[in-house]
Amino acid sequence: MKNTLLSARAVLMKDLRTEWRTREFLGHTFMFALLVIVIFNFAFKINPQNAPGFASGILWISFLFAGTLGLGRSFLVEKENDCIQGLALSPVDRTAIFLAKFAGNLIFLLIIQVIVVPAFIVLYNVNVMENFFMQCLVFLLGDVGFMTLGTLIAAMSVNLKAREILLPVLLLPLLTPLLIFAASATASLVGGDDPSAYLGRIRLLAAFDVIFFVVSLLVFEYIMDEL
């Protein structure tokens, strides 16, 4: 277990170092997420009555688009010079590679959120973070489920010619229940609903995360075999 975590840390640090030097992921996805919330700002007339629904929908759509863009790149860096084979040849537990890619994708999405959410609050004048800790928990649980499943599907699609199309086509249907619970929990928190309205959804989000995570860990080794 210790070796797995050390190897995962090595892959993660390598990915962060590469991203820091190229800034390919953050630059593109941040602009994309920001563009989504700016365009919606012109398209919708948000007032205190419809704010919870709109705010939640716009935020989660921007996270979804930006996150999916980033997922596509997470394994693509390993295609350069066939480095994915170099990783596959090393004696590390394959789950270390999954954990590192998952952690990297999660960190990048969290960075996007740290920038996009304040921008959203300023642009729309809707404080989505009024219930700060619960909203952070919803974002985190939604992100974990999204990135767990996304990392798995990104690995499966990395060798496909039409991967840019196939990644969202494969991912979005599987992600729909999680996104519904995440968006509705965010809406309830923005609307100041009774805790009973969102606590159940938060529990479901946690359940999805556990299921996705365990299944992904079990399946990833077989996916690596085919890369």
Partner 1 sequence: MYKGRIECSGVGKKYGDFTALKNVDLLIEAGDFLVLFGPNGAGKTTLLKILCGMTRPTSGVAKVGGADSHSPEIRGKIGVISHKSYLYDSLTAFENLEFYGQMYGLENPRARAGELLETVELAQRKDDMVRSFSRGMTQRLSIARALVADPDFIFLDEPFTGLDHHSAVAFQALLSALHKRGKTVLMITHDIPLGVAASTRVAILKNGRKVFDEKTDGLGGDKFMKTYLEVAGK
The burial of 218, by beta-carbon neighbours within 10 Å (0-12 exposed, 13-18 middle, 19 or more buried), is given as: exposed
Question: Please, are residues 164 and 72 in contact by the beta-carbon 8 Å criterion?
Answer: yes
Residue 49 contacts partner 1 per CB under 8 A: no
- DSSP one-letter string for 149-172: HHHHHHHHHTT-TTHHHHHHHHHH
- Name the minimum Å distance from CB 65 to partner 1: 25
- Name the minimum Å distance from CB 53 to partner 1: 42
Residue 223 contacts partner 1 per CB under 8 A: no
Residue 22 contacts partner 1 per CB under 8 A: yes
The correct pick among 6, 160, 180, 214 for binding partner 1 (CB under 8 A) is 6
- Name the minimum Å distance from CB 155 to partner 1: 15
The correct pick among 1, 42, 49, 81 for binding partner 1 (CB under 8 A) is 81
| Residue 174, C-beta contacts closer than 8 angstroms, at least 6 positions apart | 149, 153
Largest CA distance in the chain: 57
| Residue 76, C-beta contacts closer than 8 angstroms, at least 6 positions apart | 158
In this complex, which beta carbon is closest to partner 1, that of residue 12 or of residue 175?
12
- Name the minimum Å distance from CB 86 to partner 1: 3
Question: Please, are residues 106 and 142 in contact by the beta-carbon 8 Å criterion?
Answer: no
- Name the minimum Å distance from CB 26 to partner 1: 14
Per CB under 8 A, residues contacting partner 1 are: 3, 6-7, 10-11, 14, 17-18, 21-22, 77, 80-83, 85-93, 225
